[in-house]
Amino acid sequence: MDDVERDKFLKDEYMKLQDQYEDYDRRSLTIKGWISAGAAGAIALGFQKGESPVILLVVAGFALCFWYLEASWKIFQYALRLRIQELERHFRGEIIVVHPLQIYAKWFERYARINGTRQLIGAAMQGFVMLPYALIIVSCLALYTYAILRD
Residue 124: how many CB atoms within 10 A of its CB? 18
Between 38 and 125, where is the model more confident? 125
Domain containing 79 equals 3-150
Of 35, 122, 13, 34, nearest to 78 (Cα)?
122
Q: Residue 36: what are its φ and ψ, rounded to 5°?
A: -65, -45
Averaged over 101-105, what is the pLDDT?
Answer: 94
8 Å CB contact between 72 and 91: no
| pLDDT number for residue 44 | 85
Question: Cα–Cα distance between 71 and 125 in angstroms, integer?
Answer: 8
| pLDDT number for residue 61 | 96
Q: Total domain count for the chain?
A: 1
Tell me the per-residue pLDDT of 33-75, one tens digit each, with 9 for 90 and over: 999 998 998 888 876 767 788 899 999 999 999 999 999 999 9
Stated pTM of the model: 0.86
Question: Cα–Cα distance between 138 and 69 in angstroms, integer?
Answer: 18
Looking at every residue in the chain, the average pLDDT score rounds to: 92
Q: Residue 47: what are its φ and ψ, rounded to 5°?
A: -90, -5
Averaged over 70-95, what is the pLDDT?
Answer: 94
| pLDDT number for residue 53 | 85
